[in-house]
Structure 1
Amino acid sequence: MARKAAATTGEKPKARKGSKTTLSEANLADLGPERLAAILLDLSSDSHVKRVLRLELFAESSAEGLALEISKRLATIGKSSSRIHWRKRAAFAKDLDLHRRMIERLAADEPTAALDLMLDLLDLATPTLDRLSQAEGPIGDVFLAARDSVGAIAAKAMPDPIALADRTARLLRRDDYAQFGPLVNALTPALGARGQAYLRETLEKLLAARSPRSTHLFDAQGAIFKDALRRLADASGDVDAFEATFSPELRRTPLVSAEIARRLLAAGRAEDALATLQAGAPSAQRGRHQSAVEERAAWEDVMLEALDATGHHDEAQKRRWADFEATLSIARLRAYLKGLPDFDDVEAEDQAKAVAKRFPRFDAALAFLVSWPDLPAAARLVLSRSGEINGSDDTLIAEAARRLEGGHPLAATLLLRASIQYVLTYGVATRYAEAARQLLEAESLAAMIGDHGEYPDHAAFVADLRALHGRKRGFVAELEALGATF
């Protein structure tokens, strides 16, 4: 009957996949509307199924009724304050997401009502997450999805900008889990210039009304307001307003000065950007901690851009080369070579490779030569510094061995051996399967090696492994699974 109806309306029937007993849309349609209705009515004793059916009926018959039904459910959730047991979280998230999706459907016909409901749903975020032991998870994901979809609904609804700004400020005041920062970006088109100005004024008043806090204490609520003000400043292209959200002390830090300078450059204020960066230059005492390295790199990126924009090309080039010598950054080297006169880049590239070959960190040198690429130089590096190969770096070894195996099988073999020895020496069981595959790869490469030189051949290497690690049953089992013996 379903296929006949589809034929009369000109629609193509759903493609059938699998047997007639496979759960699919086409097979279920064959049951016919009366049978399906009876089945669904029988299932409606389940509260979620019943709610789905009621909402679907309202969606088909009355947008006003659908909005009222959703509103009633959101109000019920808002009144509850009991803890949500971990066993019930999945069901709660499913129910909450059902209403979120129905609000999105409502937006097609009644965007104004849908916007109010979606904002009501977002209002439930903090009190609902307070009822959980942790905010991360499916329930929190529903609120994030609502946050990300509200902008499109607001664009259709065209609400009063002042009213929308008030609702946005209210959400930010209750944003105990710092979820609503992107909401400002999503709503700025609907807010327009008037709504943005009103929201900015409201947030500034809220900030000013906050009690002074010790400089050693973090003001989470104040940070949320400042983040929103920065987003508003970016939306209007007001760099000075963006800068004003940071204290003078923060403006003199590398990351913040870089963020401000990046915006100044985009606004055509290169000299101001350079001065800002100079005031926030990284301290030599910052050390080699990863966060300090990342801060310096981010600041340096903008500094190089600012130097070029202000005509200090030679200084920018010196910094690029110095940074490359310190890090072997391919991005820095490419930028340096691009800034050289014609034909000078060939000599500079040779110098760069020489720097890489004598670089103190073997892994960084290998990564550079493989990625650049200069595979013959990478192979020579492996052969001359084989004792420095770090077998724990499985990603680098796998990539380097793959790139070298065709033309430089001995170098590829030494990399594979270092990885295998690391795994077996330290008993890294999670990498036994990988080590077994690598041993077979090394065996296949052995036939391509005419002279092992100072290194043992494959048979001798395996004999040493067997003597040292023959009792590692996990590794032996992985080899046997691949059809090999140890």
Structure 2
Amino acid sequence: MARVTATTTDKPAKVAAKTRKGSKTTLSEANLADLGAERLATILMDLSVDSYVKRALRLELFAEASPEGLALEISKRLAAIAKATSRIHWRKRAAFARDMDLHFRMIRRLAESDPKAALALLMDFLDLAGSVFDRISQPEGPIGEVFAEARDAVGDIAASAKIAPVDLADRVARLILCDDHFVFGPLVAVAAPSLGVAGQARLGERLQAALTQRSARSAGAYDAKASVVRDALRRLADINGDVGAFIATFSETQRRFPAIAAEIGRRLLVAGKAGEALAALEAAAAPVKPRGPLSVRAEPDDPVERAAWEDVYLEALQANGRQDEAQRRRWAAFEDTLSIPRLRAFLKGLPDFDDVVAEDDAKKIAAEFPRFEAALAFLIEWPDLAAAARLIINRHGAINGADEDLLTAAARRLEGTYPLAATLLLRAMIRNVLTYGVAGRYRAAAQQWLEMESLAPMISDFGEFPDHETFMADLRAMHGRKQGFRAELEALGGSF
């Protein structure tokens, strides 16, 4: 085939040529295009002995021929997958995910010309999720990612398909009611624009009817399917701004769990129902989880869940005009945990100049806090580096060399202005690694060794601590036989 060379008098091409990157032997679209259609066709026929390549080529041919043919070909493949029951071996999962992704991409391709047919096929595709996940015993991994991407594509394709909202609602309900692996919850929000008011109402009716049947059947026992339906109803309630419907999906006992009470309280605050929000939060003020069937005492709440509850509770106090009580709780929380968010919120609520005094008091509390690591983290993050350096020097015996993340971050912040404090942190980490023979940390310890050496000239007075040479000599005497550490150090240009 003769190649036409463009000149300055030629009209601009409708499609820009592929940008060439690298040499002519680099694998790129531009270089492959230079091979010509006939040569590429020959290569692809040779490669078609691979089942994936053959299937991809057939789908491409059908896509060029007619939307109906492409839809039929995809439908046949989905039907074959639906009939299969054998377990998908872990070695074959990547190939299976690739095949599923191919057909999903072709469904999207079909949507360009026939969105209604594409939407029907996409729903059939998603119908496969349960049986496929049963064959691999998990929804995570590449296969799960394909289904998640397909789920999230429903919105765009449904918007183009313009099917009856109630019909779309029925298909969405079907997927949710068969969702044994908790993957279709986000579908409610994805499909909501196309569902509209009528479709959302239909979906809510279908889900509520199913939940009523499940509740009668389970009689108080945990019901996974009912949990899936309740989750979907909550998402639907959030879309419609219906706080009452959201709350109705939880039992009275569940509403007293701090994490759930926080979610309810936050929504009530947004809805302008401050009094109801405070009441809902106060119902969860005390733990409710029993330790055992014979005990009336309760387990401590999960700290993260209780902190989330506290955040919303403080907002509710504020919204109900109970500023003084909110301030007392913020300060008490800071004294207990050295929480920076609590302290910042407390200071923000104080008059001018009072906040300066309170900040000084907070730093004193931090310096004397029983847990050294919490005190150091606070002073580094606040920040008050001078106070952090004093803390390290005054309470050096409390430094835990295994607390690598905190000590490394603190040493980085301190090394420029407070090299002695930074050195004490580096020494603690190195000593911990060598004392316990943590081979996986030898390289990091070797880097810290070099950092410590670079800081030594900046320290004019080591005070009560051994100077650099003495400390190094002690380490060599105690750990000179640790050849793994020696090798890592020498690889970085140091010497042990």
| Secondary structure of the structure 2 residue equivalent to 1:297 | helix
Structure 1 stretches of at least 4 aligned residues deviating more than 4 Å after TM superposition = 1-8, 284-288
Q: Which residue of 2 aligns with 1:51?
A: 55
Q: TM-score, normalization: structure 1?
A: 0.95
Q: Is 1:356–2:362 an aligned residue pair? A: no
Distance 2:195 2:3 in 1: 47
Contact 1:2 1:29 in 2 (8 A): no
Q: Is 1:259–2:263 an aligned residue pair? A: yes
Q: CA deviation at 1:38?
A: 1.4
- For 1:239-388, what aligned pairs fall within 5 Å after superposition? 239-283=243-287, 292-388=302-398
The 1:107/1:10 distance shift into structure 2, 3 A limit, reads closer
Aligned partner (choices 131, 138, 142) of residue 142 of structure 2:
138
Distance 2:156 2:178 in 1: 22
Q: Is 1:213–2:203 an aligned residue pair? A: no
Contact 1:391 1:422 in 2 (8 A): yes
Q: CA RMSD in A?
A: 1.8
* AA in 1 matched with 2:191: L
Q: Deviations for 1:275-318, whole angstroms, at most 9, x for unmatched residues?
A: 11111113397666xx6111210100000111111111111111
- For 1:31-70, what aligned pairs fall within 5 Å after superposition? 31-70=35-74
- For 1:362-441, what aligned pairs fall within 5 Å after superposition? 362-441=372-451
Greater alpha carbon shift after TM alignment, 315-324 vs 109-118: 109-118
- For 1:90-101, what aligned pairs fall within 5 Å after superposition? 90-101=94-105
Distance 1:92 1:315 in 2: 59
Distance 1:398 1:196 in 2: 52
Q: CA deviation at 1:63?
A: 2.0
Q: TM-score, normalization: structure 2?
A: 0.94
Aligned partner (choices 235, 242, 250) of residue 238 of structure 1:
242
Contact 1:239 1:263 in 2 (8 A): yes
Greater alpha carbon shift after TM alignment, 453-462 vs 276-285: 276-285
Q: Is 1:110–2:92 an aligned residue pair? A: no
Give percent identity, aligned residues only: 64
Distance 1:166 1:263 in 2: 28
The 1:224/1:195 distance shift into structure 2, 3 A limit, reads same
The 1:278/1:58 distance shift into structure 2, 3 A limit, reads same
Distance 1:129 1:120 in 2: 15
Distance 1:402 1:336 in 2: 29
- For 1:117-156, what aligned pairs fall within 5 Å after superposition? 117-156=121-160
Q: Which residue of 2 aligns with 1:203?
A: 207
Unaligned segments of structure 2, at least 5 residues = 289-296
Counting matched residue pairs gives 483
| Secondary structure of the structure 1 residue equivalent to 2:253 | helix
Q: Deviations for 1:353-410, whole angstroms, at most 9, x for unmatched residues?
A: 1111011111111111111111000000000011111111211111110110010000
Contact 1:264 1:273 in 2 (8 A): yes
| Secondary structure of the structure 2 residue equivalent to 1:178 | coil
Distance 2:494 2:348 in 1: 51
Q: CA deviation at 1:172?
A: 1.3
Q: Deviations for 1:54-90, whole angstroms, at most 9, x for unmatched residues?
A: 2222223322222221111111111111121222111
The 1:2/1:77 distance shift into structure 2, 3 A limit, reads farther
Distance 2:365 2:309 in 1: 24
Greater alpha carbon shift after TM alignment, 65-74 vs 17-26: 17-26
Q: Which residue of 1 aligns with 2:471?
A: 461
Q: Which residue of 2 aligns with 1:87?
A: 91
Greater alpha carbon shift after TM alignment, 105-114 vs 382-391: 105-114
Contact 2:268 2:276 in 1 (8 A): yes
Q: CA deviation at 1:185?
A: 1.3
The 1:247/1:437 distance shift into structure 2, 3 A limit, reads same
Distance 2:236 2:99 in 1: 34
Contact 1:111 1:153 in 2 (8 A): yes
Q: CA deviation at 1:108?
A: 2.4
Distance 1:177 1:187 in 2: 19
| Secondary structure of the structure 2 residue equivalent to 1:9 | coil
Distance 2:235 2:66 in 1: 38
| Secondary structure of the structure 2 residue equivalent to 1:181 | coil
Q: Deviations for 1:83-140, whole angstroms, at most 9, x for unmatched residues?
A: 2122211111100011111112222222211111111111000011111143322112
Aligned partner (choices 186, 189, 199) of residue 190 of structure 2:
186
Greater alpha carbon shift after TM alignment, 472-481 vs 434-443: 472-481
Distance 1:369 1:349 in 2: 12
Distance 1:457 1:60 in 2: 78
Contact 2:257 2:287 in 1 (8 A): no
Contact 1:2 1:32 in 2 (8 A): no
| Secondary structure of the structure 1 residue equivalent to 2:153 | helix
The 1:206/1:447 distance shift into structure 2, 3 A limit, reads same
Distance 1:94 1:358 in 2: 58
Q: Deviations for 1:250-293, whole angstroms, at most 9, x for unmatched residues?
A: 112211111111100010000100111111113397666xx611
- For 1:155-174, what aligned pairs fall within 5 Å after superposition? 155-174=159-178
Contact 1:3 1:13 in 2 (8 A): no
Greater alpha carbon shift after TM alignment, 161-170 vs 369-378: 161-170
Unaligned segments of structure 1, at least 5 residues = none
| Secondary structure of the structure 1 residue equivalent to 2:186 | helix
Q: CA deviation at 1:4?
A: 4.3
Greater alpha carbon shift after TM alignment, 172-181 vs 266-275: 172-181
Greater alpha carbon shift after TM alignment, 424-433 vs 353-362: 424-433
Q: CA deviation at 1:160?
A: 1.1
